[in-house]
Structure formats: C-alpha cells, structure tokens
Amino acid sequence: MSSAPPVATAPTGPRVLNRELGSLAFNERVFALAEDAHVPLLERLRYVCIVSSNLDEFFEIRVAGLRQELLHDPAARTPDDMAVSDVLEQISVRASTLVARQYSVFNSVLIPALEREGIAMIQRDAWTESQRAWARTYFETDVLPVLTPIGLDPAHPFPRVLNKSLNFAIELEGADAFGRSSGFAIVQAPRVLPRVIRMPAQVARVPNNFVTLGSILRQFIYLLFPGMTLKGCYEFRVTRNSDLFVDDEEVKNLRTALEGELFERHFGDAVRLEVTSGCSASMEQFLMQQFDLTARDVYRVDGPVNLVRLNQIPDLIDRPDLKFPPFKPGLPRRIERLWQGNVDPFSVIAKGDVLLHHPYQSFQPVLDFLRAASIDPDVAAIKQTIYRTGSESALMETLIQAARNGKEVTVVVELKARFDEETNINWAARLEEVGAHVVYGVVGYKTHAKMLMVVRREQGKLRRYAHLSTGNYHIRTARMYTDFGLFTANPEMCADVNEMFKQLTGLGLASDLHHIWQAPFTLHARVLAAIEAEACIARAGRPAQIIARMNALLDLDIIEALYRASQAGVQIDLIVRGVCALRPQVAGLSDNIRVRSVLGRFLEHSRVFYFHADGREDMYLSSADWMYRNFFRRIETCFPVLERKQKERVMREGLKMYLKDSDAVWTMNAAGEYDRPGHTMGARSPQSELLRLLAP
C-alpha cells in the first residue's frame, strides 16, 4: 500500500523562475563545453562562437522586449514577480561575467592551444615585416576601395549603424583640407568584406594562419585620414531590437508587409553596445549618447567585438583530429533492406510506420520519399509545411520539380520564422513561379507544425501518406539537431493531417481530430488533462509517471498542473534543454519532480511526452515546447506513436538514455542552479551512446 501524498506547504520564494536569467544559465552551460578539455579543440572554438550567437539573439529579442515593456510600464513585473528594471540589472551583471569568461578562455586557453597545433590568429602587434607588407597590400587593394570614412561635423551627422555590423570609432587631431577639426570619425566595415582572412603560405608562420578584418583595419585605418593624427581607433558593434512588427489586423498582404519590415530590422532601437577594452572613456560616452544607451548596456571585450564570425575557422581547417569524429547516419533496418532496393517507399510505409531518429539516422529517406512522390505517376498531390529550410535546399527544389511535373503541390510557408523571413519569401516566390499553391498560414499564428502529406491513387482509390516531425525540413540542421520523424499510412492519422492542411489553406471551423493534439485548439487542454489524469491515478494509489523532454518549459498553467501532480505522488522527470521556469525539488510543492538538461555535440531539439496512463503508456512526439506561445500563438502538432515497436524505440532512445547519469547531464535545483555531476563531456553521454547504436 503506497504512502499518502505529502501535505503541500507554502514554498519560500516565487513559484516560478525567471525566463531571461534561465536563458543566461543555458548559455553558461553551453560555454562550459568550451571550457571542457575533453572536447576537441576546434569544437571548443565553435562553442565560444555559439554562445556569442545565442547572446546576440537574446539581446535582439528578449532584452529588447523587456526594454519595450519597461518603456510602456515602468512598474512592469515578470511572471516570477521581479521588477523588469531589476531583471535588466541582473542581466547586465550576469551577461558581463559570461562575456568576460568567454574572452578569457578565448585569449588565454584556446589561442595558445591552437597555435601549438599550427593554427594561428596573430594579432597585428606580432606580425612579421612580410606579414605587415602583405596586410597593407591587402588593405589597399581589397579593403580601401570599398570604405567610406565619415568625419562627424554639422554636415555629416552620426551615420545609421547596421545591427551587429563591424564599425570603428576614430579619434583624430588636426584639421583637414577644409579646415574641419571635429576630432571624431566613423568607419563602417562593409558586409561584403570577409571578417576572417587566411594569410598566404609565403608569409604564414604556421600551416593555418588567420587574421581578422578588424586587425587589418585598425592597423591601416590612418591611411583614410592623411595629414591628421590618429589618437585612437576602437572597434564597436551595436545590437538592435530585431523583432519584426506586422499589424495582423491592418495587413493586406503579409509577404509585401514583411518585405518592407526586413530592411528596417537593421535599424531598430539599440539594446547593447560592444566596444574593445582599450576604448577611451570619452569615446564610450559619445557612443552611448548616439545610441541612447546607459553604462548598463555597454560590454567591453578583450578581442574582436564579434566572435560569431570566427565560427568559419573550423570549417576552413582540415584537421579531423581537432573536431568531433565524422559519422555516417544509419537507417532503420526495414528501409535498409527494402527502400534502397526496387521497392518504392509507399509500399514500405503501407506495411507499418517508419520512425527516424536524427541525426543518428539519415534525413535522406525524407528526401527519397518526396522525390518518389514528385515523379510517381500515381501521386496526385503533395502538401507540406515549411518553417525553416535554408537558402539552399534539395527538398524545396524537389517540391518545385514536382509542380513542374504536374503534381498538385501546396506549400504552407511560414514567412515570420524569425531570422529566416527573407529565405522563406524567396522560396515562396520560386514556388509560385512554377504554379504551386503557396499560402502563408493563418494571420496572427505562426505555422510551426512539421507535416508532409502525399495523396496517391492505389487500386482506384486515393490513399494518403504522411510524415510528421519534431524538427524542421532543413537538411543541414538534420545533421546537427536531434529530432524524431514518423512516416505513417495510418488512415486516421493521415486524415488528421489532411484536416490540418484544410484549416491552413481554407476557411471553416476546426473539426475534431482522431489522434493529433493541435495548437491552438486542443493541445494545451489535452496536456493539462493528461497531467491531471496521472495525478488522479496516483491519488488512487496506483503507479503514475510523467516523462517529458523539450526545449523550454514556461507555461504557467502547465507548471501548476505539474506541481499538483507531484503533490499527488506522480513521479515526474523533465528533460529541458534550455529555459525551465518550474522549480523542482521544493518541499511540499515539487518533491517528486526532477529537472535535467542535456547538452553535447548535437543541439537537443526533440519534444517527447510520456504518460504512464495506468499501464497504457501513451507516447507523443511534438513540434511544440510547453510555452504559452506554442500553445496559443502557433499552429503545432503533438502526435502519438501508435505502434508498439516504435513506442519502445522512443522510450529507449528518446527518454531512458537521458535519465541515466552521464557526463552530458546537468541537474537543476530549486533555485534554478545547475550542476554537472560528470564535470566533463567524456564518452558517457546519450548522444555518444546513440551514435554507437544507430550510426556505427
């Protein structure tokens, strides 16, 4: 007989944790991989760059949003009951500490270690005479012709500075040919110029010798101001609010409206200023005034102001020993035996669902399925959603070819996929040129569901085949992100997919679906009901368990439901890669909840939800995280794994491996702090185990 559930007591502190500070905690975990000596050297450099890229988006979206909120309501508070002004202060302190750690590891650890391996990023004060001569020639021939120095005076006001662009603030002394002596100038580095340049072999000291564009500009920028004395030259970079705004009620044509907004994104309100550590106090103050920022928004860095650009260096170097070992994605046995032979993919799927676990298993079957549909004379229609797919995509080219082949092709392109808007607009235009039906989803909602459906004539009847996924139809990220994809010919599941496409392209009320939980209609209520059902089972003294894996957990209703389930005695394991607002292990509130985060070689992206359900063991895969936006502002799918063998695979590969203690697992305490028991990313991790299992 089970013991009675614990009596709830009032927890100390807020019931939820702060989202923005949780995001910084995630980036601190990512940065720990850059510090980890067990990670290959060039991959450690990548992690440094990834943190910089993540911080860029954090400031462009999250910090920008907080600043806007504070502007409209100075007394605004976040869901954890912190004053927004206090959150911004804490962000400044914590982000500054993280950035300082980044540059310390970059300068003191990674650069010396790379030099020992024959990879040098030589600073200008260490150039040899031959390197200096080469650099000057490069500046005069490849850089100088495209530069436009702007001396600041009443006729030349401070220029508009592009978001995240490389710029130089110049302090000068003396008068120019017109007698002007303002003392300040700005030089903007055009985006057409490469930020990292490989030195030619004849002047390189080591096999791989790189120099940054910033170093070359700082060394020779005085040539732009003949006859004047250069007192100071400082790199700076400004980050701006990059959230696009389109009035859903006023917009007549979403594509046209977005095309107009994309350019303005480069010039949104400034939210962060990065300057080199040697920048003078007077110049820093001057720049702060120009961008309407305070000292809290300034980040002094000991090196290049944009570490993101160094991410290309590992790709330029042929040193497999300094990177993660290459692997060849595997295939499920049934596909390996049949799909690669003369049997078409439809015959294989018709015999039973096919589960793919990326990146350990290949994305190629998805392309093969679509290509087969594009040329099969029996295929009548192809329908697909596109959220992110990349500027170059064999999948999109196949859809275009299918339309040329006379197939009825319908593509739901999400034009408001953040930072992929321009790419998606271009694909939409190309699809329309060949006669495909292109729709942009539903105004006011992002189409985040990942669905592909093929309608085929078989024995005089139409039969549907579907592919549903937790991740995007993006070939490159399919080798970098962990995701599940499911092929099915299950009539009820395919009918659900068809119904969702009808909603996206047509008009009418939503119909009840057989299996799929759909946002914004049923997903939130179904998840709450599943959690409450487990709580009822636990109260009745029977075993109850929830395991959920996702990228973020922020929805307050779901968090409260999980608290209630914990108090009822449900054992809850949450695997949350990024931000988790739930507080685990709080006495009387969340005693039975454990939260862990797994980081590694691949970006954890799968969403997997398991409910014991009195022994029925319901397993769901989803495109949605447990966030308010996913439940109510997006069109999402949460679909069951119905076949026993596939359900067992998801449990084993997607959940149980992640619940073992390993080098890649971080555990979270009630204060939102994370600890990694293994301390290093060694061989014991879910990802390394899955590589051995699925991609031998």
d(CA 76, CA 297): 19
Write down the residue that tokens 């862990």 correspond to.
Answer: 596
Sign, CA torsion 88/91/96/99: negative
d(CA 431, CA 35): 45
- For 617-685, give the DSSP string: -EEEEES--BSHHHHHSEEEEEEE--SHHHHHHIIIIIIIHHHS--TTEEEE-TTS-EE-TT-S--S-S
Q: Which residue among 156, 357, 437, 448 is the active-site one?
A: 448
Q: Tell me how far apart the 2 most distant CA atoms of the chain are, in Å.
A: 94
Do 280 and 288 contact (CB within 8 A), yes or no?
A: no
Burial of 328 (0-12, 13-18, 19+ CB in 10 A): exposed
d(CA 63, CA 59): 5
> What number of other Cβ atoms are within 10 A of residue 50's Cβ?
20
For 481-493, b/e burial (b = at least 16 CB within 10 A) is: bbbbbbbbbbeeb
Phi, psi torsion values for 687, nearest 5 degrees: -65, -45
d(CA 486, CA 355): 5
- Closest by CA to 168, choosing from 224, 124, 122, is 224
Q: How many residues does the chain have?
A: 696
Do 358 and 390 contact (CB within 8 A), yes or no?
A: no
CA 195 to chain centre: 23
Classify 597 as helix, strand or coil.
strand
Distances in Å between the Cα of 683 and the Cα atoms of 219, 483, 512 are 45, 21, 47
Which residues lie closer than 8 Å to 71 by C-beta, 6 or more apart? none
- For 511-559, give the DSSP string: PPPSS-EEETTTHHHHHHHHHHHHHHHHHTTS--EEEEEES-B--HHHH
Is 514 tagged catalytic? no
d(CA 81, CA 15): 9
Phi, psi torsion values for 169, nearest 5 degrees: -100, 125
Do 371 and 339 contact (CB within 8 A), yes or no?
A: no
Distances in Å between the Cα of 631 and the Cα atoms of 187, 452, 519, 581 are 46, 21, 5, 16
User: HSE of 367 in the Cβ direction (CA atoms, 13 Å)?
Assistant: 15
d(CA 561, CA 132): 65
d(CA 388, CA 370): 17
CA 497 to chain centre: 26
Write down the residue that tokens 């850089």 correspond to.
Answer: 143
Residues that are catalytic = 448
